[in-house]
Amino acid sequence: MKHNHDQSLLQGPKNYAADLWRSIRIWQEFRKGFKTLRNVNHCVTVFGSARFAPDHPYYKLAYDTAHLLASNGYNIMTGGGPGIMEAANKGAQDAGALSIGCNIQLPQEQEPNPYLDIQTEFHYFFVRKVMLLKYSQAFILFPGGFGTMDEIFETGTLMQTDKICGFPVVVMGRDYWQKLGPFLRETMVRHGTIDAHDLELNFARMTDDPQEALDIIRLQNIGEKICA
Q: For 71-93, write each residue's pLDDT tens digit.
A: 999 999 999 999 999 999 999 99
Give me the chain's average pLDDT, please.
89
Least confident of 1-15, 104-118, 152-166: 1-15
Instruction: Please say whether the beta carbons of 112 and 80 come within 8 A.
Output: yes
Q: Nearest Cα to 208, choosing from 168, 169, 175?
A: 175
Q: Residue 126 and residue 178: Cα distance in Å, rounded?
A: 28
State the total domains in the chain: 1
Q: Output the pLDDT for position 111.
A: 82
Residue 18 falls inside a structural domain:
no
Residue 3 falls inside a structural domain:
no
Residue 115 falls inside a structural domain:
yes
Specify whether the backbone of 200 is left (phi greater than 0), alpha (psi in -120 to 50) or beta.
alpha
Residue 6 falls inside a structural domain:
no
Residue % of the chain over a pLDDT of 70: 87
- Which residues does 204 contact at the CB level (< 8 Å), separation at least 6? 169, 171, 180, 181, 184
Q: Output the pLDDT for position 189.
A: 92
Q: Output the pLDDT for position 7.
A: 62
Q: What is the mean pLDDT of residues 110-133?
A: 93
Identity of the amino acid at 106? L
CA torsion angle 164 181 222 113 (round to 10): 90
- Which residues does 177 contact at the CB level (< 8 Å), separation at least 6? 141, 143, 171, 206
Q: Nearest Cα to 69, choosing from 53, 51, 93?
A: 93
**pLDDT band at residue 48 under the 50/70/90 scheme:** very high
CATH value at residue 214: 3.40.50.450
Q: Residue 133 and residue 180: Cα distance in Å, rounded?
A: 22
Q: Residue 149 and residue 27: Cα distance in Å, rounded?
A: 26
Range of the domain at 111: 38-219
pLDDT at 121 over 90: yes
Residue 13 falls inside a structural domain:
no
Residue 19 falls inside a structural domain:
no
Q: Output the pLDDT for position 12.
A: 65
Three-class SS of residue 47? Answer: strand
Which of 8-17, 21-30, 109-118, 189-198 tops mean pLDDT? Answer: 21-30
Q: For 142-173, write each residue's pLDDT tens digit.
A: 999 999 999 999 998 898 888 888 888 999 99
Residue 25 falls inside a structural domain:
no
Residue 119 falls inside a structural domain:
yes
pLDDT at 222 over 60: no
Q: Output the pLDDT for position 19.
A: 84
Q: For 194-212, write each residue's pLDDT tens digit.
A: 988 887 765 568 999 999 9
CA torsion angle 208 128 151 97 (round to 10): -10
